[in-house]
């Protein structure tokens, strides 16, 4: 094939997340005419979202403008557009900004929070799946401290200062540790003991252990470390209902709290159900081992959105999404050349979770790291993968301030996303509900 052979071949990539971004770059390098459509004009680095919610990083430090990523690639066009449907017979993607025609399509719209049908969870729990949700949770936590400092009612104060995190996976433990450190250091200094003593961080996990997907030793270490930091870990604690001022557990216990942060799971995005394509487990798009959707060899899906039936499960992580996105791009190139696609083979890059300053767990095959060595590995990986030189620099300086001075500079309750998508700093009534994704 000559250079420029694919310049008339239109590939649409839906989603500028990990899968979409890497696929688009590979496709552009091969000379395809690529259009990337995303409802947001930026790429989000989700592994650090919990730090936004814990007042450690600003939202713009974990996001990067999509047009900036693609600036040096003239054959990638970006469309800020929400994907709403698909007409596979006409080969057009439907969006709120009109139709986009394709020869090949890669669907990579990620995932959304799975509340598992728990009554009240959608209405009253704070999700941690979008930048808006991260900011809303941060505003809410800081507002709880402000309200607690002003109330004379001990019961109301205790509920304001009890923070429950639901889900003992990596995000749950990372947020529990970061929140505990925020409270113990900066907030105790800001509010004094009168304003912050008695603040509780509770981590509720329905299963019998933390960190599924990590080795037993790493999970035990993480739990022990969090307990020493003062996190109240409840294993076998199944949440059955959430209300504005309490969380109900299986067995009848009711926890009085104004904060339920939900990190218990994700599912396929709602848009997937409207494509007329086969769905697999968890509302995700079914794909073959070539990442093609059954019956439509020209439509691929990758990342959190895709699930291959009959194949070993692939974790819903950034490295897996990147690998799938790149394999889908490679297979599109092979099909365009008239060659057969290659099956996707997942390469396990290991697992990592950080509990706090200088403390993490990491597993790479048979190698397990805990404590400072794991934290340094975590730091290296996250700085290396964070997009944008400025973001890396600012994140590093924020972590250095936290590490050496126990200081967090992002403790502002700024106008931003509020309950129900309203804007403005939260007022007293805003304590009753979370932000909804915009
Ligand atoms: C809080 C949190 C912490 C995490 N921590 C880690 C971690 O430490 N390590 C790790 O490996 N993984 C982590 N993950 C998981 C990881 O972020 C995901 O597996 C990864 O982002 C999946 O990549 P993706 O490309 O499939 O989707 P995403 O990165 O979610 O990208 C999907 C894109 O699609 C866009 N989109 C969605 N719907 C539409 C629509 N209808 N129209 C247009 N655009 C749309 C979104 O705006 C987004 O840009 C974490 C996830 C979360 C939420």
Query: CB count, 10 Å around CB of 85?
Result: 13
Q: Determine if ligand 1 sits within 6 Å of the CB of residue 301.
A: no
The two domains 10-52+62-111+268-336 and 121-265+407-432 share their CATH topology (first three levels equal): yes
How many CB atoms are located within 10 Å of the residue 294 CB?
A: 14
Neighbours of 281 (CB within 10 A): 11
Give the pLDDT band (50/70/90) at residue 197.
confident
CA distance linking residue 15 with residue 9, whole number of Å: 19
pLDDT tens digits, residue range 245-279? 999 999 999 999 999 999 999 999 999 999 999 99
The DSSP code for 168 is: -
Tokens 């073959």 correspond to what residue? 288
Residue in the structure block whose two tokens are 């009085």: 256
pLDDT at 307 over 70: yes
State the first-to-last Cα distance of the chain, in angstroms, to the nearest integer.
44
pLDDT digit string, tens, across residues 143-152: 999 999 999 9
134 CB near ligand 1 (under 6 Å): no
pLDDT tens-digit map of 348-406: 989 999 999 999 999 998 899 999 999 999 998 888 888 777 788 888 888 888 777 77
- Active site annotation includes 60: no
Tokens (6 digits) for 398: 């924020």
pLDDT given for residue 131 in this prediction: 95
Active-site pick, 56, 58, 174, 205: 174
Q: Could you tell me whether strands 92-95 and 83-87 are parallel, antiparallel, or unpaired per DSSP bridges?
A: antiparallel
- Give Dmax (Cα) for the chain: 76
| Ligand 1 contact via 222 beta carbon (within 6 Å) | no
For tokens 């099956």, the residue is: 343
Q: State the pTM of this model.
A: 0.93
pLDDT cut 90: percent of the chain above it: 80
Could you tell me if 361 and 221 are in contact, meaning their C-beta atoms sit under 8 angstroms apart?
A: yes
So what's the architecture of 10-52+62-111+268-336 in CATH? 3-Layer(bba) Sandwich (3.50)
Number of neighbouring beta carbons within 10 Å of residue 308: 21
CATH class of 121-265+407-432: alpha beta
pLDDT at 420: 39
Closest by Cα among 265, 271, 303, 263 to 287: 303
Indicate which atom in ligand 1 lies nearest the CA of residue 303: 26
Q: How far is the CA of 46 from the centre of ligand 1 (A)?
A: 6
Q: Is 15 helix (H, G, I), strand (E, B) or coil?
A: coil
Residue with tokens 């912050």: 196
| Mean pLDDT of the 309-329 span | 94
Q: What is the pLDDT of residues 93-135, one digit of tens each?
A: 999 999 999 999 999 999 999 999 999 999 999 999 999 999 9
For ligand 1, whether the C-beta of 317 sits within 6 Å is yes
Mean pLDDT, all residues of the chain: 92
CA of residue 21 to ligand 1 center, whole Å: 11
CA–CA separation, 18 and 43 (whole Å): 8
C-alpha of 430 from chain center: 24
Residue 161 has pLDDT above 70, yes or no: yes
Confidence of residue 3 (pLDDT cuts 50, 70, 90): low
Ligand 1 atom with least separation from CA of 84: 41
Å from CA of 327 to ligand 1 middle:
18
User: Token pair of 109, please?
Assistant: 């719209």
Give the CA count within 13 Å in the CB-facing half-sphere of 72: 3
> How far is the centre of ligand 1, averaged over its atoms, from the C-alpha of 111 (Å)?
6
Q: Residue 293: in which H helix or E strand, if any?
A: strand 292-293
- Cα–Cα distance between 276 and 225 in angstroms, integer? 47
Q: Where are the domains of the chain?
A: 10-52+62-111+268-336, 121-265+407-432
The pLDDT of residue 427: 40
Task: Check pocket membership of 94 for ligand 1, CB cut-off 6 A.
Answer: no
């Amino acid at each position: 094939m000559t250079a420029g052979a694919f310049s008339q071949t239109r590939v649409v990539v839906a989603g500028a997340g990990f899968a979409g971004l890497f696929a688009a770059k590979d496709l552009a390098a091969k000379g395809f005419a690529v259009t990337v459509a995303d409802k947001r004009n930026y790429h989000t680095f989700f592994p650090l979202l919990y730090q936004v919610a814990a007042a450690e990083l600003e939202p713009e430090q974990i996001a990067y403008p999509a047009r900036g990523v693609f600036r040096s690639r003239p054959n990638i066009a970006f469309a800020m557009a929400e994907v709403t449907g698909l007409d596979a017979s006409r080969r057009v993607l439907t969006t709120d900004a009109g139709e986009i025609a394709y020869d090949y399509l890669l669907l990579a719209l990620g995932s959304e929070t799975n509340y598992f049908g728990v009554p009240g969870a959608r209405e009253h729990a704070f999700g941690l799946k979008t930048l808006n949700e991260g900011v809303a949770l941060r505003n809410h936590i800081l507002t709880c401290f402000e309200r607690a400092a002003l109330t004379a009612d001990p019961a109301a104060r205790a509920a304001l200062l009890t923070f429950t995190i639901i889900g003992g996976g990596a995000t749950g433990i990372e947020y529990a540790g970061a929140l505990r450190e925020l409270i113990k250091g900066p907030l105790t200094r800001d509010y004094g003991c009168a304003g912050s003593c008695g603040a509780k961080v509770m981590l509720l996990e329905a299963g019998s252990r933390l960190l599924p997907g990590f080795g037993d030793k790493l999970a035990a270490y993480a739990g022990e470390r969090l307990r020493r930091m003062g996190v109240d870990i409840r294993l076998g604690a199944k949440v059955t209902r959430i209300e504005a001022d309490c969380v109900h557990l299986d067995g009848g216990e009711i926890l009085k709290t104004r904060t339920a942060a939900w990190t218990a799971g994700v599912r396929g995005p709602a848009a997937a159900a409207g494509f007329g394509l086969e769905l697999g487990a968890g509302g995700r798009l079914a794909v073959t081992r070539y990442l093609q959707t059954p019956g439509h060899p020209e439509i691929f899906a990758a990342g959190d959105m895709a699930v291959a039936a009959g194949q070993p499960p692939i974790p819903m992580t950034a490295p897996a999404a990147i690998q799938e996105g790149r394999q889908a791009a490679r297979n599109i190139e092979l099909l365009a050349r008239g060659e057969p696609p290659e099956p996707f083979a997942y390469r396990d890059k290991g697992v990592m979770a950080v509990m706090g300053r200088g403390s993490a767990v990491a597993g790479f095959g048979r190698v397990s790291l805990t404590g400072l060595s794991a934290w340094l590995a975590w730091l290296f990986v996250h700085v290396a993968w964070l997009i944008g030189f400025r973001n890396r620099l600012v994140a590093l300086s924020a972590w250095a301030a936290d590490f050496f001075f126990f200081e967090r500079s992002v403790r502002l309750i700024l106008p931003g996303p509020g309950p129900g998508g309203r804007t403005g700093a939260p007022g007293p009534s805003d304590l009753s509900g979370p932000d909804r994704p915009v």
